[in-house]
A = this chain, B = another copy of it.
Amino acid sequence: MKKILITNDDGIAAPGIKALTEVMHELGEIFIIAPDSAQSGMGHAITINSTLELKHIPGFLGTENAYSCTGTPVDCVKMGIHELMKTRPDLCVSGVNHGSNSSINVIYSGTMSAAVEGGIEGIPSIGFSLCDYSWDANFENIKPYIKKIALEVLEKGLPEGVILNVNFPKTDKIKGIKICRQAKAAWEEEFDKRTNPMGKEYYWLTGKFVNHDNGEDTDEWALANDYISIVPVHFDLTAYHAIQQLNNWNL
């Protein structure tokens, strides 16, 4: 029976991980280890300056193998593989994230970083996200697609060092699946400056998402046109095209 590690970044109580778990029960033996609180925007953070705690939650989401962890999503994957399962899972899935992890969001996303960590461990890994931030988003109509994609990965594996970033559009009428590249997009930050009751200033990070890329081969185009986007991502950050140029520098 296939062994499947499940995590997320919205925390173990999020509806998204419940939906993902319901699908994974159909595909194998599941192990859940997810953050005990929301960890959105944690990127690839790991806990090295403090300690980690695990809480066993037997029976949660239909498995005896459910744990919450005080750490980050990446911590969860590391602990899941090396401390809980003590064996390599056949598949690592993360999500379903409440909100988009398309284009540049892949960098900030705890959901995707957990999947990338699975990939670094050499395990076929997928991050799933739904472009709907609401807590009561409808996950029902994406479940068949989650199953189809996960089954394909279980059957065919993934190229070495490649992880799938799957985003679902917020629509009842999904047109299909597109394999895409990451769109060139960015957040234009603004800081909302406030004063607390003690008179001390503090800030909230806010911002506006801006897509600078009209390419029809991008994830943003697919999602805007009611397609599911799948971007194969990797963790070799080398900008190979720049190596020759830098070799001409006077260093």
Interface residues of A (CB under 8 A from B): 38, 40-49, 51-54, 72, 74-75, 78-79, 81-83, 104, 106-108, 113, 116, 120-121, 148-149, 152, 156, 158-159, 161-162, 165, 177, 179-182, 184, 186, 189-191, 193-194, 200-205, 230-243, 245-247, 249-251
Contacts and interface: CB of A to CB of B under 8 A. Distances in A.
A239 B201 CA distance: 43
A167 to B, nearest CB: 14
Contacts of A184: 161, 236
A203 B242 contact: no
Contacts of A44: 43-45, 107-108, 113
A191 B79 contact: yes
Nearest to A69: B203
Given A74-B43, A78-B205, A239-B233, A251 B53 contact: no
Contacts of A233: 237-239
Contacts of A45: 41-45, 72, 108
A55 to B, nearest CB: 10
Given A159-B241, A231-B238, A238-B232, A201 B42 contact: no
A79 B74 CA distance: 25
A234 B182 CA distance: 12
B152 A251 contact: yes
A46 B108 contact: yes
Contact of A38 (B49, B104, B161, B238): B49
A103 to B, nearest CB: 10
Given A45-B108, A82-B189, A231-B237, 18 more contacts: A41-B46, A42-B45, A43-B74, A44-B107, A44-B108, A47-B205, A51-B194, A53-B203, A74-B108, A79-B203, A106-B237, A107-B237, A152-B251, A179-B246, A181-B238, A181-B240, A232-B243, A234-B239
